[in-house]
């Protein structure tokens, strides 16, 4: 899975239908493919295809509940983008963290 | 609409090892860094108690460790203790699963409660993305950004 790939996240978000699916999951999390299709002017196959792209970009996670596959919005990659391109402009490093970095690197395998 | 209750499933991929990720999830020193202001304290074993402490020392959440499989799976039975309306919703379940995928480690975090339109789930679902981003950057680069604090004293 190409899941640590910012390109995949931006590509997935660059489609209005896929953003609409994310909006629907944001309103109601944990939906089946059937529920997600309700009221959309897209075929079930098209929705499934868009969901696959969103899953590969790690923007949608899923879980099995019995025979159903429930889809969930996964905002972690979006948060990472915000951290990288928005919040870093206000970033101030804390001295404690460099000490921690040294400790972590010391422990590294 | 067959699914009762409220839940979310967050996934992040971290360039680290299951062992380091596990120690970050179960260690106080790491916890204080990526929790951004709050601090987890626990008796890290099956059946052990777990608490999330605010910077002013007050208890934000309480819980019990109900699954403890080193490097694989950690589950906490979890209840808010700080906000009466969230405490009233009762117990939730938070599960963290660790799984190596190719060269990285997949962390799946599930948090659920047996209640529709839960305010508690709404509250924690807003907090977790930042915590997971912090955890990822802490493990991958050794530091977290200076994003907003989750809990203020």
Would you call B144 an interface residue with chain A, using a CB distance cutoff of 8 Å? yes
The answer to whether residue B2 scores a pLDDT higher than 50 is no
Residue B130 has pLDDT above 80, yes or no: yes
Instruction: Quote the ipTM score.
Output: 0.78
Q: Which domain holds residue B121?
A: 6-141
Nearest-CA distance from A3 to chain B in Å? 7
- B151 inside domain: no
Q: B8 - beta bridge partners?
A: B111
B111 forms bridges with which residues in the sheet?
Answer: B8, B94
Indicate which CATH number applies to the domain containing A25.
1.10.10.10
> Taking the CB of residue B114, how many other CB atoms lie within 10 A of it?
14
Instruction: Establish if B148 belongs to a structural domain.
Output: no
Output the pLDDT for position B146: 55
Residue B77 has pLDDT above 60, yes or no: yes
Instruction: State the average pLDDT for chain B.
Output: 89
Of B1, B3, B12, the CB nearest to A76: B12
B57: three-class secondary structure by DSSP? coil
Q: Residues B35-76: pLDDT tens digits?
A: 877 889 999 999 999 999 998 899 999 999 999 999 999 999
Q: Does residue B88 lie in a domain region?
A: yes
Q: What is residue A89's DSSP assignment?
A: G
Q: Is residue B13 part of a domain?
A: yes
B32 contact A CB<8A: no
Q: Is the residue at B150 inside a domain?
A: no
Within a domain: residue A75?
Answer: yes
Q: Is residue A1 part of a domain?
A: no
The total domain count for chain A is 1
- Within chain A, residue ranges assigned H as helices are 6-13, 16-27, 33-37, 44-56, 76-85, 95-107
Q: What is the DSSP string of A52-71?
A: HHHHHTTSEEEEEETTEEEE
Q: pLDDT of chain A along its 109 residues, tens only?
A: 434 578 999 999 999 999 999 999 999 999 999 999 998 999 999 999 999 999 999 999 999 989 999 999 999 888 888 777 766 655 555 556 656 667 777 765 4
In a domain, B146, yes or no: no
């Amino acid at each position: 899975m190409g899941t640590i790939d910012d390109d995949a996240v931006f590509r997935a978000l660059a489609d209005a239908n896929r953003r609409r699916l994310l909006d629907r999951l944001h309103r109601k999390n944990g939906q089946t493919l059937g529920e997600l299709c309700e009221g959309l002017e897209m075929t079930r196959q098209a929705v499934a295809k868009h969901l696959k792209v969103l899953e590969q970009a790690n923007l949608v996670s899923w879980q099995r509940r019995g025979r159903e596959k429930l889809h969930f919005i996964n905002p972690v990659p979006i948060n990472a983008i915000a951290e990288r391109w928005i919040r870093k402009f206000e970033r101030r490093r804390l001295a404690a963290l460099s000490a921690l970095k040294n400790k972590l690197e010391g422990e590294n395998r | 609409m067959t699914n009762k209750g409220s839940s979310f499933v967050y996934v992040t991929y971290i360039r680290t090892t299951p062992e380091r990720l596990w120690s970050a999830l179960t260690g106080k020193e790491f916890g204080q860094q990526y929790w951004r202001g709050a601090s987890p304290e626990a008796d890290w074993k099956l059946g052990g108690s777990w608490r999330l402490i605010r910077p002013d020392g007050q208890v934000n959440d309480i819980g019990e460790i109900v699954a403890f499989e080193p490097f694989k799976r950690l589950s906490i039975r979890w209840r808010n203790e700080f906000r009466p309306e969230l405490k009233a919703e009762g117990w939730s379940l938070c599960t963290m699963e660790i799984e190596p995928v190719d060269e990285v480690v997949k962390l799946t975090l599930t948090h659920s409660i047996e209640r529709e339109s839960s305010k508690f789930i709404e509250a924690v679902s807003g907090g977790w993305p930042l915590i997971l981003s912090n955890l990822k950057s802490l493990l991958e680069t050794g530091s977290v950004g200076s994003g907003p604090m989750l809990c203020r004293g």
